[in-house]
Amino acid sequence: MNPRRFLATIIAVAIGFALQVAPASAQKKPSLNIYCWSEYIPQSVIDGFAKQNKVKVNVENYASNEEMLAKLQAGGAKYDLIQPSEYVIEEMVKNGGLEELNLANIPNLKNLDPKYTKQAHDPENKFSVPWMAGTVGIVVNTQKVKDPITGYGDVFVDKYKKRIVVLNDARETVSWALNSLGLPINDINAESLGKAKDVLAKWLPLVKVYDSDSPKTAFLNGSVDLGVVWSGEASILYKKNKKFAYVLPKEGAHLFIDNLAIPKGSKNKELAEKFIDYVLDAKVAYAVWKEFPYITVNAEARKLMNKDELAIASSNPPEDAKLEIFRMIPNDAAQQIDKLVTDLKNK
């Protein structure tokens, strides 16, 4: 055989062999795709899990449950882990939108405070595991606001016009009006929405900023003096400056329980369950709380808190607080709420 032709043949065979084995030897790291609330999972926790398990973790954020649901319904099967609130878990379980968890893969479930497990939205925790709880209440810059603030009626008054920040969340907004009227926040009908509309028509023109992602920002830059915000945001403000006080409205407030769940069609279910177990470790859960101090649902993590941390009111509501959890409502009711608030905001 011609030496050149022989050499060319050897090279061709080698290249062909290399092309066949390359995909196996150059496989990408397994990936976990998380779709979650913004400012809710510390980067250190993401990095710690990725390093420990030699995987890649991709994170995308949403600002409301409704935004998350809309994206999933539009084809979000690429996500392996989501963070729905309780009423959305209820809806997704009903519609078959969640994978059933293999609880044997999550031994750290034992660390959870029973107060936050086996709730009405998932009585056996077959589909969800509590991530964090919180309340929605009033933050007051006590250096600027000297009047006593005890409820919604003290916030939405003319003297504070354009000095108020509120969550950009229609259902939350309507619930405040219903609470102020002494009406159940889960009983949504034409009559109750009509009454809520009359209240909000007076309240919303007073608002300067709508922000669900980081309402604390408006306080820190001096744009506002009052607000109705997530308790975790209130805790961060308090830790930065004790002038920011937190008040649970006397009329009643929303207690939310956000959860970790696996959407139907996840390609990495076991990896998602491994992440759930990882964040339920007491030290990891405490690290999460340190950065995003809502209400920890982890009883073992709570034991790691010092006296000052346990004294933060927005992270530790009193046992006798008047709190109510959202339940699933019909789609048409949710649409009516969205339209009501959107129309009033655009006036």
Instruction: Give the tens place of pLDDT for each residue, 53-103.
Output: 999 999 999 988 989 999 998 885 689 999 999 999 999 999 999 999 999
- Residue 5 confidence (pLDDT) above 60: no
* Residues 209 and 329 grouped into a single domain: yes
Cβ neighbour number for residue 198 with a 10 Å cutoff: 10
pLDDT on residue 77? 62
CA distance 99 to 122: 13
Question: Does residue 301 lie within any of the structural domains?
Answer: yes
* Residues 207 and 327 grouped into a single domain: yes
CA distance 136 to 150: 14
For residue 62, give the 3-state DSSP assignment: strand
CA distance 218 to 224: 6
- Structural contact between residues 231 and 295, judged by C-beta atoms closer than 8 angstroms: yes
pLDDT on residue 238? 96
Quick: pLDDT tens for 181-237.
999 999 999 999 999 999 999 999 999 999 999 999 999 999 999 999 999 999 999
Q: In the predicted model, what is the mean pLDDT of residues 241-252? A: 97
Quick: pLDDT tens for 174-197.
999 999 999 999 999 999 999 999
Question: Does residue 163 lie within any of the structural domains?
Answer: yes
pLDDT on residue 3? 43
pLDDT on residue 26? 44
Containing structural domain, residue 100: 31-133+257-315
Question: Does residue 15 lie within any of the structural domains?
Answer: no
Q: Which residues contact 2 (CB under 8 A, 6 or more apart)?
A: none
Higher pLDDT, 19 or 85: 85
Q: In the predicted model, what is the mean pLDDT of residues 127-142? A: 98
Question: Does residue 6 lie within any of the structural domains?
Answer: no
- Structural contact between residues 326 and 135, judged by C-beta atoms closer than 8 angstroms: no
pLDDT on residue 12? 46
| Strand partners of residue 294 | none
Share of the chain above pLDDT 70, in %: 91
Question: Does residue 219 lie within any of the structural domains?
Answer: yes
Binning the chain into helix, strand and coil, the percentages to the nearest 5 are 45, 20, 35
Strands 128-141 and 244-247: antiparallel
pLDDT on residue 118? 94
* Residues 85 and 151 grouped into a single domain: no
**CATH assignment at residue 279:** 3.40.190.10
pLDDT on residue 176? 98
Backbone angles phi, psi at 174, to 5 degrees: -65, -35
Question: Does residue 1 lie within any of the structural domains?
Answer: no
Give the pair of three-digit tokens for residue 318. Answer: 């009193």
Q: In the predicted model, what is the mean pLDDT of residues 158-186? A: 97
* Residues 149 and 191 grouped into a single domain: yes
* Residues 225 and 154 grouped into a single domain: yes
pLDDT on residue 27? 58
- Residue 288 confidence (pLDDT) above 90: yes
Question: Does residue 332 lie within any of the structural domains?
Answer: yes
CA distance 270 to 260: 14
* Residues 152 and 89 grouped into a single domain: no
pLDDT on residue 74? 87
pLDDT on residue 340? 97
Quick: pLDDT tens for 92-128.
999 999 999 999 999 999 999 999 999 999 999 999 9
Q: In the predicted model, what is the mean pLDDT of residues 335-347? A: 95
* Residues 178 and 261 grouped into a single domain: no
Question: What does the DSSP assignment read for 30-51?
Answer: PEEEEEEESS-S-HHHHHHHHH
* Residues 328 and 226 grouped into a single domain: yes
Confidence of residue 21 (pLDDT cuts 50, 70, 90): very low
pLDDT on residue 52? 96
* Residues 94 and 150 grouped into a single domain: no
pLDDT on residue 246? 98
* Residues 96 and 236 grouped into a single domain: no
Give the total number of structural domains in the chain: 2
* Residues 180 and 199 grouped into a single domain: yes
* Residues 50 and 144 grouped into a single domain: no
CA distance 128 to 249: 29
* Averaged pLDDT score across all residues of the chain: 92
